[in-house]
Amino acid sequence: MTVTSTTPFGGIKTEVVIRKYGLLQPTNWAEDCESEMRLMDDLWNKLVYINDEYISKYISLMCQEKNFSEAKSQYDNSVAASAAVSDIASSKRRLAIIQKDVARRMADALRALETSRREEVKVARQESGLWWGNYNALVRSFERARSAAIRGGQTMHRRSGGGDGRITNTLQGGAAVEALFDGSLSQIMVRPISARAWLSEIRGERRRLQRTFLSATVFVRDGERRTVTWPMIMHRPIPAQLPREGGHHHASPSR
């Protein structure tokens, strides 16, 4: 859920509010849902392949500059030879300085390379066979992970499949919290519960009343919506003021 407010200095402050609730085993999960999860793994792995190709082309382009090529070889040799930490750090700093300078001079070529990568990502997304709510969320997640990997000098890894996945429903245009409970949203609904679920003085009654059901779209195929229902434990209410401008729902089914 996204909340915006005005700062004391007249600016706009945006906060992302996350509410997590426990979901039990879904009641009507089937092979068609598993297929959607496998398609997510396939798209992720395709994005890893695209990124690996991008890195290879990036390095080849940068190595056209002799000083970058030499600095990279020095750093790689230091790491391979398990050199002293101070030596590795020194060669890494030198490489970073040279890389920044070369990247500045090769800005146009690198920009074209990044544009090509993004176009490949777009095509992979469109050809994935996934529902738009899931492929958009997966690509956003991949790009965040990729940025973190670049900053940390890490690599992106393929998914082997069979792990946890994530179903995403994006409420375009936003929705009031009440809409989650009144059945007016086509993508998601939570069965209403009594306010005594949080106000009762009897713990056992609170725990019993906090049990409800969440129904959410897993995918849409040929105009047919596939909805799955999870038993849900709503241990606290959703703040009444959220969300107004937009929101995302994520469900992570056990596989």
Band of pLDDT at residue 28, cut at 50, 70 and 90: very high
* Separation between Cα atoms, residue 163 and residue 165, nearest integer Å: 6
Q: Is the confidence at residue 112, as pLDDT, over 50? A: yes
- Looking at the fold, whether 40 and 146 belong to one and the same domain comes out as yes
Q: Is 157 within the bounds of a domain?
A: no
| Together in a domain, 85 and 121 | yes
Give residue 177's pLDDT: 85
Last residue in a domain, options 114, 129, 152: 152
Is 102's pLDDT higher than 80?
Answer: yes
Residue 160 lies in a domain: no
Q: Is the pLDDT of residue 92 over 80?
A: yes
Hey, CA dihedral for 186, 126, 113, 80, is it positive or negative?
Answer: positive
Could you give the strand order of the β-sheet that contains 22-23, starting from the edge strand earlier in sequence? 22-23, 224-233, 211-221, 188-190
For residue 159, being part of any structural domain is answered with no
Of 93, 120, 152, the position where a domain reaches its end is: 152
Q: What pTM was estimated for this model as a whole?
A: 0.82
**Tally of structural domains, the chain:** 2
Tell me whether residue 20 is in a domain: yes
Statement to judge: residues 138 and 91 lie in one domain: yes
Q: Are residues 26 and 50 in the same domain?
A: no
Residue 158 lies in a domain: no
| Residue 18 pLDDT exceeds 70 | yes
Domain with 19, as residue range(s), is 2-32+165-251
Residue 142: how many other CB atoms lie within 10 Å = 20
Distance separating the N- and C-terminal Cα atoms of the chain: 26
